[in-house]
């Protein structure tokens, strides 16, 4: 007896029920393909190298930070830091928020005079609007000695402008 129109045919295969109606089969195949494509795209890591425009903008941001620190330029500092910026300095002091960060930076520059140099070693993008920037951070003291450290910046875009969201300064330990 042929199946009645509108009634879906199924066959039991072990504990699985297989659809035998053409529409159901096509839906299942489409769903399986869609899930596979989605899964592959999620498993494939994002492209984490910045493009030329991102690299230039982030490099400019780090240069502005260095300039603002050298000149104790609070206006420039406030324009390149997010309001919720946080900073962990090599002494272990946490500075949370833009006011604490700016005051701490000015105090640190006054207490440790010298020429500060930041050289970007690596930029890794998390997505098109955020990245982590690793820099060599050197302070040439007035006596000629050089304090060699590392700085890591978390940078984000706010209103299409790159800003610093977090800073971590590290003083490597002697082996």
Query: What's the sign of the alpha-carbon dihedral 81, 84, 90, 93?
Result: positive
Query: Which three-class secondary structure state does DSSP give residue 48?
Result: coil
pLDDT band at 151, cuts 50/70/90?
very high
Q: What is the pTM of this model?
A: 0.72
52-170 CATH choice from 3.10.450.50, 1.20.910.10, 1.10.1040.20, 3.30.565.60: 3.10.450.50
pLDDT more than 70, % of the chain: 73
DSSP codes joined into one string, 110-143: HHS-SEEEEEEEEEEEEETTEEEEEEEEEEE-TT
Residues 16-48 have pLDDT tens digits of 555 556 666 666 666 666 666 665 555 555 568
Note the pLDDT of residue 108.
Answer: 85
Nearest by Cα to 169 from 50, 61, 65 = 65
CB 106 within 8 A of CB 71: no
CA atoms of 90 and 169, how far apart (whole Å)? 5
CB 85 within 8 A of CB 164: yes
Averaged pLDDT for residues 118-135: 96
Residue with tokens 């910045």: 50
Average pLDDT along the chain? 83
Higher pLDDT, 143 or 14: 143
Q: Rg of the chain's alpha carbons, rounded to an integer?
A: 28
Residue 86 has pLDDT above 70, yes or no: yes
Q: How far is CA 42 from CA 37, 48, 109, in A?
A: 9, 14, 45
Higher pLDDT, 76 or 33: 76
């Amino acid at each position: 007896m042929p199946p009645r129109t509108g009634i879906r045919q199924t066959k039991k295969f072990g504990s699985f029920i297989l659809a035998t109606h053409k529409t159901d089969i096509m839906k299942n195949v489409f769903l399986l393909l869609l899930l596979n494509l989605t899964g592959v795209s999620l498993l494939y890591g994002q492209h984490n190298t910045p493009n030329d425009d991102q690299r230039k903008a982030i490099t400019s941001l780090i240069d502005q930070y260095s300039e603002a620190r050298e000149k104790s330029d609070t206006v420039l500092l406030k324009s390149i830091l997010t309001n919720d910026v946080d900073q962990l300095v090599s002494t272990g002091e946490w500075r949370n928020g833009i006011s604490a960060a700016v005051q701490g930076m000015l105090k640190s520059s006054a207490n440790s005079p010298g020429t500060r140099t930041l050289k970007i070693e690596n930029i890794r993008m998390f997505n098109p609007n955020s990245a982590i920037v690793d820099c060599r951070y050197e302070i040439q003291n007035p006596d000629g000695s050089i304090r060699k450290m590392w700085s890591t910046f978390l940078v984000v875009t706010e209103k299409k402008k790159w800003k610093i969201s977090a800073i971590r300064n590290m003083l490597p330990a002697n082996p």
